[in-house]
Structure 1
Amino acid sequence: MRNDVLNYLELIKDEIGLLNKSELARRLNCDPRTIERYIKDPNTESRKPREIKSKIDDFKEKIIDKVDTLGSNSMSIFKYIQQKGYDGGYHTVNNFIKNYKSEQLQRATMRFDKGLGLQAKVDCKETLTMINSEGEIFNINIFLILLGYSRLSYIKLITDKTQKTLRQCLIESFKYFEGVPKEIIIDNIPAVVDRRKTTFENVAIHEDFERFSENAGFEVIAFNPYMAVIKEKAETLDKLIKRLNPYNKKFDTFDDLNTIVKKFNDEINNEISQVTHEIPVVRYLKEKSYLNPLPPMNILL
């Protein structure tokens, strides 16, 4: 809006009919048509900046559908809408998809709920290579589950991330906690997330793992595979890796490493937490009664 034009026209409103519109436009450094519009109707919508339509506007709905429903990438969507009449550039499509996903990530950010007995978070560290005293190579993953309120943890070394191994680790953690949290946040683990059925907005859980969770008495909260940046970083895993490093080439068996991990787990559960500034095992005594009861083990195995 040109407020200077409006103000000037208001000052000379009694003389407007006597003045040349082109001369007024020169004085006010604007187009004569602007003067004409403002004289006819100072409140006209026509003085609003003209909206410039993008070539992608007519295809946004199709693009979002392909992203949400199929998880399609930018290039495949670009090629698809080209066949539907889109004659714009690839970068316009790519930038639109990036911005759309960014907005969805902000809306979908999950926070680790610290309510009593409500949530736990599972993390599986990527493969760590350890070599024993005989030169045997072990490709190791670290399973960690952390209770939300007390920050009590259960850690175990594993050699794969299959569903069977994950279920066994969870059962052992429930025994360790003497109860089951109501919700478990699980990172994007293929053993849990059915990627064939998962879309950008909807995460599908493998049916057999979903049955396991129902029998155990917890709800699975899984991260969408496109949402790799929204989870809290588990500093405990980094501490454990540093603790294990000096044992490289100094241990004999895989059980030796798990003995080290068990001792480390007991230590951090008895140290003051940097998050709560209290000792996890002390807070756990308050949290324990809020956990769901342990189910019969025979229905979980």
Structure 2
Amino acid sequence: MAAHRFTCSLLFSDTARMLYIEFTDNMRYDTLETCHRNAFRFFGGVPREVLYDNMKTVVLQRDAYQTGQHRFHPSLWQFGKEMGFSPRLCRPFRAQTKGKVERMVQYTRNSFYIPLMTRLRPMGITVDVETANRHGLRWLHDVANQRKHETIQARPCDRWLEEQQSMLALPPEKKEYDVHPGENLVNFDKHPLHHPLSIYDSFCRGVA
């Protein structure tokens, strides 16, 4: 069976904890922009600010002009102007922000990715980018954004109804990934696994 290497982009609302994930087979800028467009469509609007870590496809030089004024990737800067959002960078070594992201990564790995791999591999089904994204959308709709989040003590989908009111409008576009009624997709438990497998420790860094 051929190995498929891919990475996962996670975008989530800091307040409502509404989550979007997308798997890709490269880390090019054009792919990053596509993930943004798909995420904004999923959220039903564009946030006024987007917070990033120090990705090469996001920032070319931190504090390039003065403290807090960074030299962003020109294509991302133009994309932000087009869509109406302002890019921001996480402060280095800020434990609170890093912890939120790491918890989202762990939750996605244990609740979605590991169950998907363990259920499809015995059937001889290779989990490639297309398969992961197709099943991932269903998981987002049925599990991730429907569960009661421990931190906010509410369902992200409910909190999002309030937060969405402050989003910028997004023109309708054609969906790249969709879930069709009647598709034979994996059903996911609403509680994550509690025994992560070491073979998947490279999740979100490149998965074989």
Normalised to the residue count of structure 2, the TM-score between the two structures is: 0.69
The one of 136, 141, 161 aligned to 1:285? 161
Gaps of 5+ in 2: 174-208
| Amino-acid identity (%) | 20
SS at match of 1:139: coil
The separation in 1 between residues aligned to 2:137 and 2:66, in whole angstroms, is 38
Measure how far apart 1:260 and its partner are: 2.9
Q: Which has the larger radius of gyration?
A: 1
Does 1:155 pair with 2:21?
A: yes
For 2:83, give the aligned amino acid. A
The separation in 2 between residues aligned to 1:263 and 1:198, in whole angstroms, is 41
Gaps of 5+ in 1: 1-133
The separation in 2 between residues aligned to 1:263 and 1:164, in whole angstroms, is 25
Q: Deviations over 1:107-162 (max 9, x none)?
A: xxxxxxxxxxxxxxxxxxxxxxxxxxx2x112221111111221111111112221
Distance 1:260 1:200, change over 3 A: farther
Measure how far apart 1:178 and its partner are: 1.1
Alignment of 1:67-82 (within 5 A): none
The one of 34, 37, 55 aligned to 1:168? 34
SS at match of 2:169: coil
SS at match of 1:144: strand
The residue aligned with 1:259 is 134
Contact in 2 for aligned 1:193/1:203 (Cα 8 Å) = yes
Distance 1:272 1:190, change over 3 A: same
SS at match of 2:60: coil
For 1:216, give the aligned amino acid. M
Q: Deviations over 1:64-90 (max 9, x none)?
A: xxxxxxxxxxxxxxxxxxxxxxxxxxx
Q: Could you list the runs of 4 or more consecutive aligned residues of structure 1 that deviate by over 3 angstroms after TM superposition?
A: 195-202
Contact in 2 for aligned 1:213/1:220 (Cα 8 Å) = yes
The separation in 2 between residues aligned to 1:153 and 1:238, in whole angstroms, is 13
Q: CA RMSD of the aligned region, Å?
A: 2.5
- Higher helix fraction: Structure 1 or Structure 2? 1
The separation in 2 between residues aligned to 1:187 and 1:239, in whole angstroms, is 19
Normalised to the residue count of structure 1, the TM-score between the two structures is: 0.49
Distance 1:296 1:281, change over 3 A: closer
The separation in 2 between residues aligned to 1:196 and 1:139, in whole angstroms, is 30
Alignment of 1:1-301 (within 5 A): 134=1, 136-195=2-61, 198=64, 201=67, 202-223=69-90, 227-230=92-95, 231-233=97-99, 234=101, 235-242=103-110, 243-246=112-115, 247=117, 250=121, 251-254=125-128, 255-266=130-141, 267-295=143-171
Tell me the number of residue pairs that the alignment of Structure 1 and Structure 2 aligns. Answer: 162
